[in-house]
Structure 1
Amino acid sequence: MRFYNFGDSRNTHLLLIPDNAQHYSIFERGIKDLIPDFYITICSFDGFDETIKETFVSHEKEMEQIEAYINEHDEGHLSCAYGLGHGGEVLCSLLERSHITIDKCIIDSAYFEYLSTPYAMMQASAATMFFYPLIKEKTISRGVMHFLTREQKENPEFISRWQQHYLSHNLDFIKKRSLFNQFSSSYQLKHKKNLLIPNTAVHVFFSMKMGARYLRRYQYFFANAIYHYFNMSAQELLITKPDQWALELYSIFKGRI
């Protein structure tokens, strides 16, 4: 894993964790308004960074590297952290492991789809087939086309921005094995019911278009979290409204809530 830092190290330290199959640059449009007030560290996973030759192995290994970084640079205590998509599940696991402490965290558009090993392998294979042609060859598979056609009707800006992240960056260094390992590892992250971490405020950004099933799942794991509701699709806030995304983070991490 590599860590990219932005801003003055004397400011409040904010850790950002991207979703699966994402380059760390997914945050580049959002952080510009946060840099004056935060010291920002973006995690870049093994296998998904052009400067790292290693293949992604597991989230366990990545979490160990995050913990080592926070222990070395922040004496094991972090002011605030944000996890997007499966990155939110990694953040949840970091809280459960208790090797580091975090004052405030935001979990955004996470899925919490724990699967037994055979089903995790099957789902990871499907996710790999979805993303690999888009990343490696800049071609759109049948699965991606179905997703784009369905979503394009409701939210053309979101789909345009989402496509741009993959088509405008040279991501052909990402290996199929890294994609498969990352998704299979995510589907096998198991979390506790009613997670309650002493001295940690957990905030949830819930995208209403994810539906009631996911809301129930969030409430199962985070009954005591502070919920922020957005009438959007998963990850839409960051991808289409980075200024608003930055403002939401600022109000939570610099505010009293």
Structure 2
Amino acid sequence: MRFYSFGNEDNPVLFLLPGTCCHWKRNFGSVIPFLQQDFHVVCVSYDGFDETEPAVFPDMLTEAAKIEAYIQENFGGQIRAAYGCSMGGSFVGLLLQRGNIHIGHGILGSSDLDQSGGLSARLQARLISGVLHGVFQKGRLPGWMQKRLEKKTPEERAYMDRMLALFGVGTADMAFVQKKSIYNQFYSDLVTPLGDTISVPGTAVHIFYAVKMGGQYEARYRRHFKDPDIRRHDMQHEELLACYPQRWADEVRHCCEMTALDTA
């Protein structure tokens, strides 16, 4: 695991946690310039998804412990905020639930927080890892997926192109990622339990809720977190981050200016 820092070290610390099988730079490279003036930004690069080290992603809990150890060693166990993109939101929830560090503002970016049983999780992980590993090796979508994409409206296509760029589609940048890392990350996210009504004194939880994902996700957020600050956007999954980086950064900044009492 690697950690990449940007901005003045005297600024409040903001951790950025990538989404499923995403490279830290592709996930957050477009928004870091909008954040580093006000924050000391730290991007997490998961085991198995950083080209500078030969590693395989182990599981969510092992990675969470490494993040905690880094925060304890470098920031006295406390940071202002952590933003989790998609699956990264599961990490934010786990870090709050475990209580080994303190995060003032936990922000989830339209995370789905899917959980599944062992057999179902293994089948899903096997399917996803097979498809994604092929995409990473070739740097492009398989033909059947490309044909489906071409049938989308121009607006849908623009959004999908931005989202695919987060995965490195269009380049061979992610060819170093092992299939085992993809499988382990996807599977571990599904089977690692996240508690209900998580509440930490002095911590505010903010949810960037992409309304077009469906109402079941808001219900899920309210089940897992007590009194979360739900920020509705009439958008699709992580569309705010992928397509509107300045607006996304403003939203993150506003969350971090709030106190826990502001969300009650």
Q: For residue 11 of structure 1, what is the aligned residue in structure 2?
A: 11
C-alpha distance 141-201 of structure 1, shift in aligned 2 (>3 A): same
Q: What one-letter code is carried by the residue in structure 1 that aligns with 2:18?
A: P
Quick one: distance in 1 between partners of 2:6 and 2:91? Answer: 22
CA shift at 1:141, angstroms? 2.6
Q: What are the equivalent positions in structure 2 for 1:115-134 lying under 5 Å apart?
A: 115-134=116-135
Residues 1:151 and 1:70: Cα distance change in structure 2 (over 3 Å): farther
With structure 1 as the length reference, what TM-score do the two structures score?
A: 0.94
Structure 1 vs Structure 2 CA RMSD = 1.7
Greater shift, 138-147 or 70-79, is seen at 138-147
Are 1:203 and 1:225, in contact at CA under 8 Å, matched by a contact in 2?
A: yes
Cα contact 2:139–2:173 (8 A) shared by 1? no
Q: Deviation at 1:75?
A: 1.0
Paired position in structure 2 for 1:171 = 174
2:233 matched residue in structure 1: 230
Is the contact made by 1:130 and 1:143 (CA closer than 8 Å) also made in structure 2? no
Checking the alignment, whether the CA contact within 8 Å between 1:89 and 1:189 is kept in structure 2 is no
Change (3 A) 1:96 1:33: same
CA drift at 1:255? 4.2
2:21 aligned partner, one-letter code: A
221-230 or 88-97, which moves further after superposition?
A: 221-230
Number of aligned residue pairs: 257
Distance 1:153 1:55, change over 3 A: same
Residue in 2 that maps onto 1:43: 44
Q: How far is the alpha carbon of 1:193 from its aligned partner?
A: 1.5
- Is the alpha carbon distance of 1:27 and 1:219 closer, same or farther for their aligned partners in structure 2, counting shifts above 3 Å? same
Report the Cα offset of residue 19 of structure 1. Answer: 0.5
What TM-score results when the alignment is normalised by the length of structure 2?
A: 0.92
- Residue in structure 2 matched with residue 217 of structure 1 by the alignment: 220
Which whole-Å CA distance do the structure 2 matches of 1:118 and 1:51 have between them?
33
Please tell me the residue identity of whatever aligns with 1:13. Answer: V
Cα distance 1:10–1:234, how it changes in 2: closer, same or farther (>3 A)? same
Query: Amino acid of the residue matched to residue 217 of structure 2?
Result: Y
Indicate whether 1:30 and 2:24 are aligned.
no
Deviation sequence 1:26-66 (CA, Å, 0-9, x none)? 10111101111100000000110000101111111111110
- Equivalent residue runs for 1:125-204 within 5 Å: 125-141=126-142, 144-145=145-146, 148-149=149-150, 152=153, 154-165=155-166, 166=168, 167-168=170-171, 170-204=173-207
| d(CA) in 1 for partners of 2:6, 2:47 | 20
Secondary structure of 1:233 counterpart: coil
Superimposed CA distance per residue, residues 165-192 of structure 1 (whole angstroms, 9 cap, x where no aligned partner): 3124611000111000000000012111
* Alignment partners' CA distance in 1, 2:240 and 2:151: 19
CA distance in 1, matches of 2:159, 2:34: 21
Cα gap change, 1:235/1:144 in structure 2, threshold over 3 Å: closer, same or farther?
Answer: farther
The runs of at least 4 consecutive aligned structure 1 residues that moved more than 6 Å come to: none
What secondary structure is seen at the aligned counterpart in 2 of 1:48?
coil
Q: Which runs of 5+ in 2 are unaligned?
A: none
Quick check: 155-164 or 23-32, which moved more?
A: 155-164
Distance 2:68 2:155 in 1: 40
Contact persistence 1:130–1:144 (CA under 8 A)? no
